[in-house]
Amino acid sequence: MSVTRTFEAYAPPSSLSDNERPQQYIGSPVQRTEDDALLQGLGQYVDDLKLEGVLHAAVLRSPHAHATIDAIDTSAARLMPGVVKIYLYDDLPESAKKRLPVLVPNPAIKQVMTQEVLASREVLCVGDPVAFVVATQRCLAEDACDAIVVEYQVLPAVADCLHALQASSPTIHSDIASNMAANVKMGFGDIGDAFAKAAHRVRDTFWINRGSAHPMETRGYAARFDPATGDLCVWSSGQTPHLEKKNLIDVLAWHPEKLRVIINDVGGGFGPKVMFYPEEALVAHAAHDLGQPVKWIEDRREHFYTATQERDQWWDMELALTAEGKILGLKLIMTHDNGAYLPWGIIMPYIGVTTTPGPYVIPCIDVDLRVVYTNKNATSPVRGAGRPQAVFAMERIMDKVAHTLGMDRARIREINFVQTEQMPYNNGFIYRDGKPMVYDTGDYPQCQALALELADYENFPTRQAAARQAGRYVGIGFANFVEGTGLGPFEGATVRIQQDGRVTVLTAACPQGQGHKTIFAQICADQLGVPMSMIDVITADTSTISMGIGTFASRITATAGNSVYLAGKSVRDKVLALGAFLLQATPEDLTLRDGVCFVKSNPALSKTFAELARVSQGMPGFSFPPGVTNGLEDTQYFSPSQSTYCNGTAVAEIELDTDTGQIKIIRYCMSHDSGNLINPLLVDGQIQGSIAHGIGNATLEWMRYDEQAQPISTNFAEYLLPTSTDVPHAQLVHLSSPTYLNPLGVKGAGEGGTIPAAAAIVSAIENALTGTGLFLKEAPLTPPRLFEILHESGFFKAVHAPRA
């Protein structure tokens, strides 16, 4: 394993411009090919499409968290200026009258509830779509929504997941017998024995509240039907073009070869754009029905109501330990507030519980996972996908163990780490990919040690003592995580040399800012010996590649990246075989440079890629010579045998203003291991960005509902995202433990910054309050909430009391 210790004088890598050609593109900090257009306002986000004659849609939504619909009167709205058509449930084709499918089904789900395209009878959360209005302008469609009269019978709503499980609770839907969607009991090892042998038992309960993903571009869809060909084309601001296509085919009962989904530029995703939503079906149906293009763009308030959310969970954790502090076993009961629908099955809470062991050896674990419906917006993975909660619960209980046993927080972790000689290490669980959770590579002890060294953890007590002397509260906290990335089953890529000699890479991977086009060009360029400027990358268009999954779960470099690599190598072999025949040389005596195939021993003999591509297209009636096959192209669907596990450690040093409950992050350090890096510039960008998301989760972002499940934080004044003054410059150190699970040796890197952030920051806040006995058990700790906790704990009385 090689460790890049960049932290003595950390500086981001100097980026390489378009004209600079490194020895090897893979591993070089090349500037992005995406940027020139985006910097000049020439991106093509879904709302930027110029569709001739496009109509605009708005959605009338339920204002109630739970109600039945008695009547809908659209008579006045239909006469409003510009209104083209108003769709209610009864106006939908039969295929669209079923509930939407569970995208990732699981036999453990006992009661399935998914959304309807438009509500037929009962609405289950605020924002449920009731009517779809198409008009010549968006503002006119919204005016018409206001003129629709809906008579509701309001029913009792369920807002709290713990209350939802009590017998006295109403149910979220009148056809459902209980609010428990799934109850998964699993585990391994002899938990009874572990607790019987334990010298110490440490238990507590943790709560992580709900937040939203909030990409800066909201959701949006546009569709156009061509009556001449029967083709239906749908544009989306999504993450999963083939998944969207699959669902559209079912909901619209459409011919699969006559439906195309294109996802151009996307203004951030972070998870919720993976889902298939009613509005996409409505836009596509209306475009066909009306014979005119139709577009719907979500507004920010709708995003608060309807784009899926995450993190609402209660964790009851109990550790059994030896006298020295070695973990013997873990019992956990996790209650997950899933909201009203299960679009993504139980994947996210499942990822959560299986993430708990993290980098530690835990010989036995007993899990009681309770996935619970409430009348709130549905949840599905948001950057981190259940792991931030798991890491919060595990790292908080580890801190409590350290406090209980009087040990340093670093030491209690050190004695429990999985050691490098134990790799590959089976942590005992079956992961969400259906495979045993076998950690492939990584050096967890060194990862923590490097992060603590970078943060100067050793000397922190001196800093803290000096601050306390000056009446300031500073604290340090840290957290470790292990994250399954690079999930299968596959993500494919085609590499093709065109007849003009340029190279095209086609893939269903669907970037939302990650820089896929750059890294695929880097990988391909190295295989074919061409500059990146000779490569065009086309992503997320279902017409260019027959199968695809999508971009989420930190999976693309490990899947599609390897497909580009393998397809590129295969095309290289094809070029060499054809070149050898035409140049009457052996493939070993050939070399590829800048789109030309040369004979090494006689460089005057050469063929350009353009010439070779034309020959490979064939001449009518003439067979190819032996060893030569048609086309300079290849398609690969790299299918990893299991997930590859990245890991990291985050260290936060903060100052707490006890008068306001506000914290300032003085220093934030992170060590991160995602195997080989294709582009360190982009990896650093992913980590810094995902840390910002984690800082939001730790200190600001709180999607609130009242007791009737009414959302009460529905704009950016009531729900705060981190701004430039909330996010410090994170100091990074990269470890590199390449995986053996894919040819490039890469792991995911997009979520690692988010996962440990809340755990590290809350630990730091608690550390700042050392001496008060406060143990912090929730996130986020917004300034008002932290102030409230201090007040309730008697902190202010103690501080102002005369010293003994």
Partner 1 sequence: MQEDIQIHLTVNGKPHDCSVSTRKSLADFLRQDLKLTGTHVGCEHGVCGACTVLVNHQTARACLMLAVQADQCEVTTVEGLANADQTLSVLQQAFKESHALQCGFCTPGMLTTLTELLAENLNPTEDEVREAITGNLCRCTGYQPIIQAGLLAAQRLRALGEQAPAQASTLTGGSTR
Considering the complex, state which of residue 40 and residue 601 has its C-beta at the smaller distance from partner 1.
40
**Nearest distance from residue 768's CB to partner 1, in Å?**
23
Considering the complex, state which of residue 424 and residue 783 has its C-beta at the smaller distance from partner 1.
783
**Nearest distance from residue 56's CB to partner 1, in Å?**
10
Taken in order 85, 91, 94, 97, is the CA torsion positive or negative? positive
Across 274-382, the runs of DSSP E, i.e. the strands, are 294-297, 309-310, 313-321, 327-339, 365-373
**Nearest distance from residue 502's CB to partner 1, in Å?**
22
Taken in order 266, 268, 272, 274, is the CA torsion positive or negative? positive
- Return the H-helix or E-strand segment holding 388: helix 387-405
Return d(Cα 468, Cα 707) in angstroms, integer.
Answer: 41
Q: Answer yes or no: are the C-beta atoms of 721 and 214 closer than 8 Å.
A: yes
Tokens coding 687: 């980590």
Q: Answer yes or no: are the C-beta atoms of 521 and 537 closer than 8 Å.
A: yes
**Nearest distance from residue 680's CB to partner 1, in Å?**
10
Return d(Cα 410, Cα 449) in angstroms, integer.
Answer: 9
**Nearest distance from residue 321's CB to partner 1, in Å?**
37
**Nearest distance from residue 719's CB to partner 1, in Å?**
10
Considering the complex, state which of residue 302 and residue 766 has its C-beta at the smaller distance from partner 1.
302
**Nearest distance from residue 135's CB to partner 1, in Å?**
12
DSSP SS3 for 726? coil
Considering the complex, state which of residue 45 and residue 795 has its C-beta at the smaller distance from partner 1.
45
Tokens coding 743: 């040819």
**Nearest distance from residue 45's CB to partner 1, in Å?**
7
Q: What angle do CA 749, 750, 756 make, to 5 degrees?
A: 85
Residues that bind partner 1 (CB under 8 A): 12, 15, 17, 31-32, 34-36, 38-43, 45, 47-48, 50, 81, 139, 143, 213-218, 265-268, 270, 299-300, 512-515, 681-682, 684-685, 688-693, 715-717, 721, 723-725, 727-730, 753
Tokens coding 118: 């438009």
Bridge partners (DSSP) of residue 476 are: 653
Instruction: Quote the longest CA-to-CA distance of the chain.
Output: 101
Return d(Cα 695, Cα 698) in angstroms, integer.
Answer: 5
**Nearest distance from residue 216's CB to partner 1, in Å?**
4
C-alpha separations of 262 from 224, 240, 510, 543 in Å: 12, 10, 10, 8
**Nearest distance from residue 711's CB to partner 1, in Å?**
15
Tokens coding 244: 């969207």
Q: What angle do CA 723, 727, 731 make, to 5 degrees?
A: 155
Return d(Cα 217, Cα 229) in angstroms, integer.
Answer: 32
If one counts every other C-beta atom within 10 angstroms of the C-beta of residue 802, the result is 4
Return d(Cα 491, Cα 488) in angstroms, integer.
Answer: 8
C-alpha separations of 22 from 31, 239, 529, 626 in Å: 12, 31, 12, 36
Considering the complex, state which of residue 77 and residue 580 has its C-beta at the smaller distance from partner 1.
77
Considering the complex, state which of residue 514 and residue 562 has its C-beta at the smaller distance from partner 1.
514
Q: Give start and end residues of each alpha helix (H) in 529-555.
A: none
